[in-house]
């Protein structure tokens, strides 16, 4: 998979790329590249944003700047780019990122992520360049970078070789193996701590009973409970 991230803060992704599960998939051939729109701006002084028409606080990422950056990187009109690959603008009001969307994106050969800053994007970026608008939650971050990292983290751990043990991904929360439910609880040594005992079945060595217990706990966690937020 090829992931390009358009961000004014490419240095943030150096730390992200060095994390084990990310570096594992990068070593296995996945590419993650940052492009800084500031390096391609046609405006003087490295300008990339401007004040919003109609007034209001903050700055808005300019459509002409992103047009130049996308065109310089891909060598095509960005309007045509979204026919070739998913171009995802990160914004608080977009489609909420969930396991279904993560699975869908993990099956793509290439992704382009657009990180807004300050007040976000000129809307024409979203209208004409993006194929998707994705949100990681209904709250406002100071930019799309952390959202892009969350999306990449969730997608990359689906790729072969990301996790040491492939079973970790197969039986994790919301997977088909768990019928879309959250994962069952885990315990490790000590078997008893301050009087809090690990469930006996997990110490029993009976694999079928353990599997049945885990499925049951997972189903319980998936059942709507009062106060649990539904989307
Ligand atoms: N940019 C700012 N806030 C965001 C959010 N919650 N999700 C995605 N991108 C964002």
Task: Report the pLDDT value the prediction gives residue 204, as an integer from 0 to 100.
Answer: 97
Tens digit of pLDDT for each residue in 56-110? 988 999 999 999 999 999 999 999 999 999 999 999 999 999 999 999 999 999 9
Cβ 122 vs Cβ 61: under 8 Å: yes
What is the rounded distance in angstroms from the CA atom of residue 110 to the CA atom of residue 84?
9
Question: Which residues contact ligand 1 via a Cβ below 6 A?
Answer: 90-92, 116, 135-137, 139-141, 144, 147
Cβ 32 vs Cβ 40: under 8 Å: no
Tens digit of pLDDT for each residue in 34-49? 999 999 999 999 999 9
Nearest CA, atom 6, ligand 1: 92
Task: Report the pLDDT value the prediction gives residue 143, as an integer from 0 to 100.
Answer: 93
CA distances from 133 to 33, 87, 89 (A): 20, 9, 5
What is the rounded distance in angstroms from the CA atom of residue 4 to the CA atom of residue 30?
11
Tens digit of pLDDT for each residue in 121-179? 999 999 999 999 999 999 999 999 999 999 999 999 999 888 776 656 667 778 778 88
Q: Would the pLDDT of 224 be above 80?
A: no
Task: Report the pLDDT value the prediction gives residue 160, as an integer from 0 to 100.
Answer: 84
Q: Which residues pair with 31 in a beta bridge?
A: 2
Task: Report the pLDDT value the prediction gives residue 175, as an integer from 0 to 100.
Answer: 79
Q: Would the pLDDT of 229 be above 70?
A: no
Expressed in angstroms and rounded, the spacing between residue 219 Cα and the centre of ligand 1 is: 31
Nearest CA, atom 4, ligand 1: 92
- For 135, the 3-state DSSP assignment is strand
Expressed in angstroms and rounded, the spacing between residue 94 Cα and the centre of ligand 1 is: 8
What is the rounded distance in angstroms from the CA atom of residue 120 to the CA atom of residue 4?
19
Q: Would the pLDDT of 206 be above 70?
A: yes
């Amino acid at each position: 998979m090829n992931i390009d991230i358009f961000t004014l803060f490419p240095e943030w992704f150096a730390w992200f790329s060095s994390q084990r599960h990310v570096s594992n998939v990068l070593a296995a051939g996945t590419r993650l590249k940052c492009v800084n729109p500031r390096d391609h701006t046609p405006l003087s002084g490295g300008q990339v944003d401007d004040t919003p028409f109609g007034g209001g606080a903050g700055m808005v990422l300019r459509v002409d700047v992103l047009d130049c950056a996308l065109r310089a990187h891909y060598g095509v009109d960005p309007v045509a780019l979204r026919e070739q690959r998913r171009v995802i603008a990160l914004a608080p009001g977009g489609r909420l990122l969930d396991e279904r969307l993560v699975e869908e994106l993990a099956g793509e050969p290439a992704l382009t992520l657009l990180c807004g800053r300050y007040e976000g994007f000129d809307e024409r970026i979203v209208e004409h360049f993006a194929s998707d608008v994705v949100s990681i939650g209904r709250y406002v971050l100071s930019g799309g970078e952390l959202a892009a990292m969350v999306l990449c983290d969730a997608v990359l751990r689906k790729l072969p070789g990301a996790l040491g043990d492939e079973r970790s991904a197969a039986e994790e929360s919301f997977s088909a193996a768990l019928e879309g439910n959250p994962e069952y609880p885990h315990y490790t040594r000590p078997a008893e701590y301050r009087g809090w005992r690990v469930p006996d079945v997990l110490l029993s060595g009976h694999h079928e009973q353990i599997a049945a217990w885990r499925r049951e706990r997972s189903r319980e966690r998936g059942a709507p409970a009062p106060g649990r937020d539904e989307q």
